[in-house]
Chain A
């Protein structure tokens, strides 16, 4: 047995169970709007995807009762949510904290893969392209969500910060100061 040098936080069971009752349509609509905003603000991310912009990615947070289907569609992204397993060209599965941590540059995707925290299936090259494109975009999902929330932005930001300290999940990007 190998040591898990990085212990990923797992989404708590009770709220995850509660999510089973949440209607998916409004969540999917909000996520869709979010994805379109990202496309406008980060066009180079889609350029970096190249031909893999046409691939369909199943993102499976294994500690949540939902699966996402992401279609980047060369800058006109579509996101679908389902409680059932979905089909795509590639599947990336792992705890939500691992997936978000990769987006925010807190974890290295290869290291999570080596430690079996992350599972990859299907078109490996498409997964690599997506990982590299997102990594280069230096996304900050918390900042984007706050900016989308208009007058409630500051409250949303504080709420996210609180959730981040409580759960240990990287919900925002931590800009590093030069060290030397």
Chain B
């Protein structure tokens, strides 16, 4: 299976390729990509050089242009698609219907993937995107179980890509307004969920509180893992109950499910984390490349060493093994 690895910087791209990434995904340093974080992403020259480096080492590059264009601001997104093609990228990852139609019409030779932000979660939707916009691959939202993924693959020719590691976005993706509510900025429009510009940490004699837009999202004791104040992973009080209302502050690790995902007909495994360092990228990619090599050779999955890299320092198999509270 193909592993698709994150790169927030040119250095991370090189680290991913050297660690064994078959494919790297990255974005331009503006609001066209859903990881529009300070100090992150690629300018046009860096993208060209990154693609060249990847190609020289036998890897592919996908450019994520996966936010929803602002009315009146479409030119920024159109330019991003044109520049991705000019950089030699192997495909673009898009979410917006209008942008898909634009890319299909004006850049027919550029391979199109559907972003997880489009939340295409059944075979009819996949087939619609394929027939209308020539989409070749769909990144499935993180709400499906393995049998559901197998059922989708049985009814479509479109390639599927699923997340196997990293931060979890638990809502129907592209539809969540929690971040907009607290900060005015959302992943869908601005490329940032719970943005750092609105984050504050307060250390009170070892007790750490994490705030977002003035709201306290978490409070942890001195010996507990520090949380990032992502809204859906917050600890809230409602009535007499206090708890993680939507999702615990844990990360996805579906390494052990690779054989089942392969059997379910999945083409590519995606690692989340363009906002993480090149050290994270190298460690995770190395681990997953070893895992897919083991899977291909019919060997047991190697024991992972990734727990320390995960948020909350705890991992979950997410919706792949669905248990609802």
Contacts and interface: CB of A to CB of B under 8 A. Distances in A.
Contacts of A179: 18-20, 286, 289
Given A108-B279, A180-B289, A48 B39 contact: yes
A162 B159 CA distance: 51
Contacts of B222: 116
Contacts of A50: 38-39
B18 A130 contact: no
A6 interface: yes
B277 A131 contact: yes
B307 interface: yes
A177 B208 CA distance: 39
Nearest to B222: A116
A121 B203 contact: yes
Nearest to B202: A121
B219 to A, nearest CB: 14
B174 interface: no
- For A1, A120, A130, the residue with the greatest tally of chain B CB atoms inside 10 Å of its CB is A120
Looking at B15, B39, B225, which has the most chain A CB atoms within 10 Å of its CB? Answer: B39
A162 B103 CA distance: 56
B30 to A, nearest CB: 12
B224 A52 contact: no
A130 to B, nearest CB: 7
Interface string A152-180: 00000000000000000000000011111
Given A114-B225, A129-B38, A130-B39, A137 B199 contact: no
B35 to A, nearest CB: 11
A4 to B, nearest CB: 8
A103 to B, nearest CB: 10
Interface stretch (B104-112, B253-261, B308-316): B308-316
Interface in B9-57: 9-12, 15, 17-20, 37-40, 57
A133 interface: yes
B131 interface: no
Given A1-B223, A105-B277, A125 B38 contact: yes
Given A114-B312, A135-B278, 17 more contacts: A2-B223, A48-B9, A48-B39, A102-B277, A110-B280, A110-B309, A115-B226, A116-B224, A119-B203, A124-B197, A124-B199, A124-B200, A128-B275, A133-B39, A176-B282, A177-B18, A180-B289
Interface of B: 8-12, 15, 17-20, 37-40, 57, 195-197, 199-203, 208, 222-228, 275-280, 282-283, 286, 289, 307-313
